[in-house]
Amino acid sequence: MARLRDKAEKVRSKNAGPFWLTIDIFCGEKTVFQDVCEKLSNIDIANVLDVDEADLKRFEISSLNVVKISLPRPQIQGSIRDRDMHGASWAAIIGEMEI
Amino acid sequence: MTKVVVPSGALGLNYDKQALQRAIAAKPDIIAIDGGSTDSGPSYLGRGISKYSRSSTKIEWKGLMEARAKANVPLVIGTAGTCGADSAVDWLVDITKEIAEELKQDIKIAVLKSSQDKSDIKAAFKSDKISPLEHAPELHENDIETFENIVALAGVEQITEALNTGADIIIAGRTTDTAIIAALPIQNNCHTGAAWHGAKIAECGALCATNPQSGVILVDFDHEGFTVTPMADNAKATPHTVSAHMLYENSNPFILYEPGGHLDVTEANYSAIDQKSVRVEGAQWVPSDNYTVKLEGSRITGYQVMIMALVRDSHYVEHIDQWTSDISELCCAKVMDRLDLTKDDFDIELRLIGKNATLGSIDKNPAAASEIGVMGIVTAQSADLAKEIAKVLNPYLLHHPLTKEEEVPTFAFPFSPAEIDVGPVYEFGLNHVLKLDHPMDAFSLEVFEVKNGAS
């Protein structure tokens, strides 16, 4: 077991417009990519983010060794319960997941 | 063949001046830069203002106006003033006139405006020309009146119309990030899929290369594809840096929706042609049956006052959840009693900086900190009411004891006054598209000349 952030090159989260959030996991090595594809499940991600698994869109991009997860923003950007205007910090909690 | 210079991801983020000179020496056909997006939040669109300082904007825009005069090609900016509302466009037009006078430039300026009249949007809504995108907020006819600003995102068609005026400088309101880059290559019959794909890759300047802060890139479009080259000495584009940019702030890395169709890069090929440049071919443009433009709208949802207390006493740090939940309960009851309000009339939130202020309840195991910042956020339907409620909250954050027996504690307030006006708080309320019979129907174009006595 290791934290995703220690295995992957970089985990990044950004807004994709005010209503969507997108998380890019840059795995670097092919072996890490394969590991992440296999062991990082949508249900685990949904549980960590406390969202509905059915809302996750997942892209496994082997040419880049990237796993990308997009989801409706848990709070619309800038709404009064939003804590992170640019959506930057979701990456931190995904990076702390053990795989 | 069409060469487009993109000096940086946004006007206000700065660019490498030497790299810009090198780009101008490569004889581009146009200089295109973006002025903003929704990414900085709903307040800028709600207020119709820029997030960047006027002084930074002016210095960088002046550099681009000088480069344009030297290259003798059009200079185009999309989403002027961060949000692209008419007032933000006017702000940049003023700055442009000021610079033209300082540089003694005679120039023709085209101004493309994207702000929408609420009565037009209501009429479009009633005739079913407005449709929601995935996860759009619900929209009712009466909601339309509540928006401070509504803008439509212009595409290639509207930018082309502006280019066709023969203007030296085009200052556009809200446009898609890509349209300002794709317009001229498409007009010059370059490959349409490549034009949109290259535009998406170049939208953030050198973010698609190493040394992203250098800003300046050159994209060379032709009938089959495009070649992207960063202009700074120490910047390189590789197939990885270029293709990875399709991930950036994009929920789907293969499909990009634009006015009039969508870009599909599933079959795109990226290859290094030397140490610095990448060649890309294979993207497809898929036209849509209807011509639609996306709408963005921002409205006031309340008024906020912030009050902050810093808790350093280890006993209170240890019991911070109990302390803040006691305060919330006591303070809400007192506000309802003394201000004669119901619980739906206001909102008090105490976010714990040093614990889980960033992620809230999903942050299950934050590391223990030696101090906690308690950020009290009061939201109400008027600024005066929010201030009044924050003043009821103030003594709790300053002195609330965990137990009745102990001596009254005092916590650190970093400011006086402790209550800080945040002002109106805005929210995005539109994620919809508007169907148009003609691309210019929702936009206006004005052209004028500025004469400062250049020979």
Interface pTM, i.e. ipTM: 0.94
Alpha-carbon span B33 to B7, nearest angstrom: 6
Q: Counting one residue from A and one from B, how many pairs have CB atoms under 8 Å apart?
A: 100
The pLDDT of residue B353: 97
**Closest residue in chain B to residue A77, using alpha carbons only:** B41
Predicted pLDDT of residue B455: 58
Q: Check CB contact of A62 with chain B, cutoff 8 Å.
A: no
B428 and A14 within 8 Å at the Cβ level: the answer is no
Burial track B410-435 (b if 16+ CB lie within 10 A, e otherwise)? ebeeeeeebbeebebbbbbbbbbbbe
- Give A1's pLDDT tier (boundaries 50, 70, 90): confident
The pLDDT value recorded for residue B444 is 98
* The pair of three-digit structure tokens given for residue B375, joined into one six-digit string: 């950020």
Collapse the DSSP code of B444 into the 3-class scheme (helix H, G, I; strand E, B; otherwise coil) and give the result.
strand
Residues 291-320, chain B: which have Cβ within 8 Å of A?
A: 296, 301-302, 304
Paired sense of beta strands B75-82 and B372-380, if any: unpaired
DSSP state of B412: B
Closest residue in A to B303 (Cα) is A80
Closest Cα in chain A, distance from residue B244 (Å): 7
Query: In angstroms, what separates the C-alpha of A19 from chain B's closest C-alpha?
Result: 7
Task: Write down all domains in chain B, each with its CATH number in brackets.
Answer: 2-114+153-291+436-450 (no CATH), 300-428 (3.30.70.600)
Per-residue burial over B287-299, b = 16 or more CB atoms within 10 Å of its CB, e = otherwise? eeeebbbbbbbbb
CA distance B73 to chain A (A): 32
- The average confidence (pLDDT) of chain A is 96
A83 touches chain B (CB under 8 A): yes
Predicted model pTM: 0.95
Amino acid type, B177: D
A63, pLDDT greater than 70? yes
Structure confidence at residue B453 (pLDDT): 82
Tell if the CB–CB gap between A66 and B43 is shorter than 8 Å.
Answer: no
Beta bridge partners of B152: B295
CB contact, 8 Å: B149 with chain A? no
Which of B203, B251, B361 should one mutate to test binding to chain A, selecting the residue with the greatest count of A CBs within 10 A?
B251
Contact A66 B247 (CB under 8 A): yes
* A60–chain B Cβ distance below 8 A for any pair: no
User: Is A34 in the B-facing interface, judged by CB distances under 8 Å?
Assistant: no
Q: What is the pLDDT of residues A17-58, one digit of tens each?
A: 999 999 999 999 999 999 999 999 999 999 999 999 999 999
B240 Cβ under 8 Å from any chain A Cβ: yes
In this prediction, residue B42 carries a pLDDT of 98
Which backbone phi and psi does B144 adopt, to 5 degrees? -60, -35
Which residue of A10, A11, A20 is the best one to mutate when testing the B interface, meaning the one whose CB has the most B CBs within 10 A? A20
Extract the residue ranges of chain B whose pLDDT is less than 70.
Answer: 455
User: What pLDDT was estimated at residue B365?
Assistant: 82
A78 close to B (CB below 8 A): yes
